[in-house]
A = this chain, B = another copy of it.
Amino acid sequence: MRVLGIDPGLTRCGVGVIEGDPGRPPALLLADVVRTPADAETGQRLAALERSLVQYVAEYRPDAIAVERVFARRDVSTIIGTAQASGVVLLVGTRAGLQVAQHTPSEVKAAITGSGRADKAQVGQMVMRILKLDAPPKPADAADAVALAVCHLWRAPAIARIQQAQVRRELVQAQAMARARAANRRKLA
């Protein structure tokens, strides 16, 4: 499975691609940053980001996109631009027919270090070990995107298993109800 991780932003948007299969350590294919000029109009910046993302999807053909879930926090002046950038990521992924998942920063930290409160350095160190790198992914802004991709790779099977378990439970219930109805019919016959 190939995952494109995105740390959304207008001025700097982190991008990372990893590929992993069960029983093998995932491999890092790309760590990059998309920049758009702060003095350009927002529409121009979003359009430039869209073009870059479409190119990455065409070039790396990921199975899934993992993007950071943006929350409203009153003390962040850049929140609107970050939300708009994340919207473009969701849009590009959905249009390409990809699985698109949003993960919170705590989910990423917990998936990678075991603690939702790990700091950036701890996450970087673990990403380095997971991907068998000599140093954390560079540029620095791309490291968060790579961490998001690793988080998705590890959470995706768990989410799929939960969905499958739900389907099995519903099937078992349906079969039990069918047997009960059959028993009732025999009793009435």
Could you tell me if B87 and A83 are in contact, using CB atoms closer than 8 angstroms?
A: yes
Q: How large is the interface on A (under 10, 10 to 19, 20 to 34, 35 or more residues)?
A: 20 to 34
- A93 interface contact, C-beta 8 A: yes
Tell me which of B72, B85, B86, B87 contacts A72 (CB under 8 A).
B72
The answer to the question of A79 belonging to the interface, with a C-beta cut-off of 8 Å to chain B, is: yes
**A interface: dominant SS:** helix
**Most B C-beta atoms less than 10 A away, residue of A41, A83, A102:** A83
A84 nearest in chain B by CB position: B87
In A42-73, which residues have CB < 8 Å from any B CB? 42-44, 46-47, 50, 70-73
Find the B residue at minimum CB distance from A92: B43
A95 touches B41 (CB 8 A): no
